Structures are given as C-alpha cells and as structure tokens.
Amino acid sequence: MSKIVVVGSYVVDLTARTPHMPKPGETVLGGPFRMGPGGKGGNQAVAAARLGAEVTMVTKVGKDLFGEDAIQNFKKEGIQSEYVQQVEEESTGAALIAVDDSGENMIVVSLGACGTITEEEVLRAEDAFREADIILVQLETSMAAIETTITLANKLTKPVILNPAPYQKFPEELLHKVTYITPNETEAGLLTGVEVTGEATAQEAAEKLIAKGVETVIITLGKQGCYLQQTGENNGRLIPGYQVKAVDTTGAGDAFNGAFAHFIAEGNSLESACTLANHIAALSVTKHGTAPAMPYLDELHKQ
C-alpha cells in the first residue's frame, strides 16, 4: 500500500449549474446547487485514498459547521486527520463554482483557515513525512506551508510532487528540490512564458522547467492527456488521454495528481503512472462535483 502525505487546502465547494457563464453584471438563473467537500489538497487526498493509498492530510479548517464536516469527510474516506487543525480565529475556506452546460467551470476560492497554515503546523507532521513514500503539495495554501513541505521532504529524502495550482509566485529555488511538477497548460505558461497549446509548445515549456532544476515535468493537457519529460532526455512524449463525455471538468487535475501520486508510489513506471492517472482524470469528469467525483479503483478495472 502506498503511503502519501498531502499538504494543502480544504474548502467547501458551493457549486451551481448555469446554462452559460454570466457576463459582468448579468444574473443567470441556474441550478441545481450542490455543496460538498473540496479544495485541491482535500480532493487529491480523496483521489489517492479511493485508489487504495494510505493518506495523511495536513491542513487547517475553522471551528465551524464546515470544519466539522471536513473532519467527518476525512474519516469517511479513510484519510488520517491527526494533522488537520481546527481553529477559532479563521473560518473554513469555500469555493464558489459555476459549471456551464458544456461542463466547463469558473471558480473563486476563499482559502480561509487553510491559507494560514504555518511552518510549525507542517513540522508537526514530520513523523508522517518520515513514513511516507511520497509528498504531495499544491499552491492553494500559505507560502510558509509550501516552502516548509518541500524543504522537509528534501531533508528526509522523500520525493515531492508540486502541483503549481492555482498559480501564485513562489521562490524559484524551490524547483531544485521538486521531484515532479504537474502544471496544466495555463500554469505551465505562467511558469515559463510559453503559451502551451499542444505537444510542441508543451515540449518547449517542459524544457524550460527542466532547465530551472525540476527532475520530471508532467504538463496536463485536458482530454489530450499529458506531456512527460525527464532530466537528461532530448525529447519528452505525449501520454494520450481518454475520450469521454464530460459533464463537469472541475477537479480533473486533482484526480490526476492524487492518482499519479498513488501509482508512482506503488512502483509503477512514469509512463504507466501517467497513463493510469489520465484514465482516472477522465473518469472523474463523467460525474458531478470534485471530491465526490473521484473514482474508486474498481471503476478503473471495469474499463
């Protein structure tokens, strides 16, 4: 069984369907409305746990109704929540999500408590880091949490996945300590200045990230799949995606990251882990929601 520590966000997803995305000043009659667990960290933790990983979550929530729901959700999913802090002074984060009839989405995230995770709160989880096969972190939390996670993983010689989403500026020297980086097209562009539109531009962006010190670059390309390149390779390669009818693309990147962490920690090759993660991401977009849409292992085997 793979052992994964996820350091990152937990927010409540407040999702409404809409026939089209509102223009500035426009009110659209939509529905239905759904509320459920979310946040990139929480989603990725659920994705890995449902595939059979032993997952420890490091995050922070408020002492409020949403925070209580978070603890109960982690327990339900079998995720270790010893390092999930509940605090009085901050509310649990929330994401306001609109999903249109084509399955595309727009999201505004208010991080709340998980945006205030401190260095000390990450360091409390050092024992879990020691036992882990891999560490997974995103940019949807405080910079103190991100820097401490990557530094501690390096100190303990643990491989670390950085999912640079949602993009925010961070110290570039951290890239020398990252084993895998998993941007989507937009994030790869913001990291490198290359507009990623397909395989050729993904290769250009990947080469720039390799030059910045990352060992392995995986650029997710939606339904096209992902582009994989490692240090020392002259050329990377496109790992094809799976064609499905998407009903909600929210959380597809989180499904990919949680799945990739699990499959690479289990000893799969890079190409195999990416192929399996592409499949899990594709399955996730055939359902509504984020964490609730994460597939179980038996769904993968049924395909």
pLDDT in tens, 34-61: 898 999 999 999 999 999 999 999 999 9
The strand pair at 160-163 and 180-181 is best described as parallel
pTM for this entry: 0.93
Residues recognised as catalytic: 254
Structure tokens at 23: 């223009």
In 3D space, the residue among 59, 45, 60, 61 whose CA is nearest the CA of residue 3 turns out to be 45
253 has binding-site annotation:
yes
Share of the chain above pLDDT 70, in %: 100
234 has binding-site annotation:
no
212 has binding-site annotation:
no
12 has binding-site annotation:
yes
Per residue in 228-239, pLDDT (tens digit) is: 999 987 779 999
How is the chain split into domains, by residue range? 3-20+30-302
Q: What are the φ and ψ backbone dihedral angles of 216, each rounded to 5 degrees?
A: -135, 130
CATH level 3 topology of 3-20+30-302: UDP-N-acetylmuramoyl-L-alanine:D-glutamate ligase (3.40.1190)
CB 38 within 8 A of CB 66: no
3-state SS, residue 14: strand
Work out the pLDDT band at 109, boundaries 50, 70, 90. confident
